[in-house]
Amino acid sequence: MHRRLQAAALAIAAGVSIAACQTQPPSSTPTDAIAITPEATVEVVSEPAWREGTIGTIRVGIWQPPGWTFTNENTVTLLQHNPSLSASESAPQTGIIVNVFAPHTTSFDLPPMPEDTANPPLWVFRHLVADPTVIGYQTSASQPVAFDWHNHPAAYYLLSSPNHGHAIIVGVMLNDGSMLGINVSLPSSSLDNARETLAMIFNGFTVDGETIGGGILSALPAPAAFPRPTAITGADMQIGGG
């Protein structure tokens, strides 16, 4: 299991480049949910819609907010106001991006993970945030924090970058010993309403049929202060309480 986590580390970090309060479970039944297959794209919806998508062998369920787009092309991605991710632009211009992905096997120089590691995502993240070649030399990362996500070991850290805004990076262990990654990109203009929006998106969040819900929102302090990017000065950015 630990070898799989170590191999996943760089893919978790790669998701960072996109970025600069659980309530009740969804009312939709399996027959009501819209099944999305890889390579499929769902148009913007006018009211919240429950979506299910496949990431490799993992199936997830998540809410699509009104006015957002949903895509399932190797990852499950929600985009607010369809921000541009083109190579010609340094960062999304507007909107929040939620990217749920399964880390791919790749080479990354990590020390052997102790077999008795209680929280593998925390162990991986501690190594990632200490390496500027992974995080970025002008990007600042908070110290990773461990939390329990519906009886699954999990961890998160916060990022701030002059070019890519702010991000919440999450890793959660699944029952089969693999890790699921979540990258939430938050442009500065979206920080104030981010918590309420994320609570709706992850309300009743499911992985392989198991409802794990929005535990990440409970883990984040309110407000959650993002680290100050190294290339700029000023007060830490905060994601509001709620």
Q: Tell me the torsion sign for CA atoms 122, 124, 128, 130.
A: positive
More confident of the two residues 89 and 228: 228
Closest listed residue to residue 166, CA positions, set 238, 220, 64, 99: 238
159-216: pLDDT as tens digits: 998 765 889 999 999 999 889 999 999 887 677 778 889 999 999 999 999 999 988 8
Could you tell me the residue ranges of all domains in the chain? 2-219
Sheet holding 58-64, edge to edge: 34-35, 49-55, 58-64, 206-207, 210-211
Evaluate if residue 3 carries a pLDDT over 60.
Answer: no
69-112: pLDDT as tens digits: 999 988 999 999 755 544 445 544 568 999 999 875 454 667 88
Q: What is the DSSP letter of 215?
A: H
CA distance 183 to 56: 17
Could you tell me the end-to-end alpha-carbon distance of the chain, in angstroms, rounded to an integer? 37
User: In which band, very low, low, confident or very high, does the pLDDT at 151 lie, cut at 50, 70 and 90?
Assistant: very high
Kindly state the average pLDDT of the residues 19-46: 47
37-59: pLDDT as tens digits: 444 556 678 899 999 999 999 99
Q: Give the model's pLDDT for residue 231.
A: 52
Kindly state the average pLDDT of the residues 127-152: 88
- For the segment(s) 2-219, the CATH number from 2.120.10, 3.40.50, 3.40.1000, 1.10.357 is 3.40.1000
CA distance 196 to 164: 22
Q: Which residues of 129-162 are buried (b: 16+ CB within 10 A; e: fewer)?
A: beeeebbbebbbbbebbbbebeebbbbbbbbbbb
Kindly state the average pLDDT of the residues 130-148: 86
Kindly state the average pLDDT of the residues 21-33: 36
Question: Rounded to the nearest 10 degrees, what angle do helices 120-129 and 2-16 cross at?
Answer: 50
**What are the angstrom distances between the C-alpha of 94 and each of 39, 161, 191?**
24, 15, 11
Q: Give the model's pLDDT for residue 104.
A: 55
Strand locations in the chain (E): 34-35, 40-42, 49-55, 58-64, 68-72, 76-80, 97-101, 140-141, 145-149, 152-161, 165-173, 179-186, 206-207, 210-211, 224-226, 237-239
56-75: pLDDT as tens digits: 999 999 999 999 999 998 89
User: In which band, very low, low, confident or very high, does the pLDDT at 136 lie, cut at 50, 70 and 90?
Assistant: confident
CA distance 97 to 94: 9
Q: Give the model's pLDDT for residue 165.
A: 83
